[in-house]
Amino acid sequence: MYDSNSRFCTKDGTKLVPADTAAAVGAAGAGAAPNPLMVSGPRATAAATRGEPKSAPAHMNLVGQTLDKRYKIERKLGEGGMSFVYLATDIATQAQFAIKVLSEALSQDANAMARLRREAALGMRLAHPNVCHIMRLGETEERLVYVVMPYVNGEILADRNNRLGHIALPDTVKFVKDMAAGLMVAHELKIVHRDLKPENVMICRGKDGLEYAVVMDFGLAKERKAEGELQKLTATGIILGTPEFMSPEQLRGKPLDPRTDIYSLALMTYEMLTGKLPFQGRTQQEMMIARLRSDPIPIRRMRPDFDIPESVERVLNKAMSRNPDDRYQTVVEFADALAAAAGGVPAESGLLGKLFGR
């Protein structure tokens, strides 16, 4: 429960709304007509006078419709503060895709859309088994902006973490190598994910029966520049995605490069192995301050019962350095070092390094 002065959730940074407002939005979303256009004119005025719930935003009500005369929306796959994701069928080819429809606020953000267009142009080059890449960027006659991506079926890494409590070291190493392979392709194209977290990774099963990780949600321009460390740590600043996995430079609003993804991947690795995050605090603000000013809790102290090798702890501590210059400089280097520390492929001759000629 939150008091009346709370504006954001202390767990995930989501903006809070009064219970009566949330109920009204939920009712509108459940009972709204399939027409994606907002009701206006005398009819809307009459509805408001009768106290009927307002229509939900257009991007929330697309199931059963055909988007842009091409994609039949089958069902909703997920949602976030700035978008809804749907499963859709191309009516010409019967191929299935995941379509992310952006909120009006994001689609009207000139800077966000400029970056999204640049990254959509690189989408086909980003095609990789471990990446769910942008295939097309479109806009409907109703001015809904949407992104077409491959439909990836599997279990979200966050759900896997919650279900199991923690993930075994060999599986963690495998998933990290998969994510690193996909991220490396993006980094080679000068694309930084910026919002790497367990909710943006899918664990899939191939035709050979083996599991592999796919990085989702590239190029949707989720973060905006902060206005300094102190302002960023206020309640009004907790709006830039999920803060738990942000790098120190991201929390400070500094320029980002691929090393911010390395930091986030290291935090995810720590959580996969322990079920916990390496920075503690009573509130989200305290956890962010700890990331800016403190060292991570050593993983073997966090979970002494898991018998995690000391070499793995050293690799993670390096990857979670506050200064980007002190981290591994590529995701491939981090993934190979982790594999070597866990008793796998030696870092100097890692499979990922061979793949990218390193």
Read off the DSSP letter of residue 284.
Answer: H
Active site residue 195: yes
Residues 6+ apart with CB under 8 A from 319: 262, 263, 265, 266, 269, 327, 328, 334
Closest CA to 336 of 134, 106, 177, 144: 177
The pairs formed by 248-253 with CB atoms below 8 angstroms and a separation of 24 or more are 248/291, 248/292, 248/322, 249/324, 250/194, 250/223, 251/226, 251/288, 251/291, 251/292, 252/226, 252/228, 252/292, 253/225, 253/226, 253/227, 253/228, 253/229
Residue with tokens 């966000």: 112
The sign of the torsion formed by the CA atoms of 132, 133, 139, 143 equals: positive
Instruction: Identify the active-site residue in 195, 217, 261, 336.
Output: 195
Q: Are 89 and 77 in contact (CB under 8 A)?
A: no
Neighbours of 328 (CB within 10 A): 23
Q: Residue 56, by phi and psi: left (phi above 0), alpha (psi -120 to 50) or beta?
A: beta
Q: Which amino acids are annotated catalytic?
A: 195
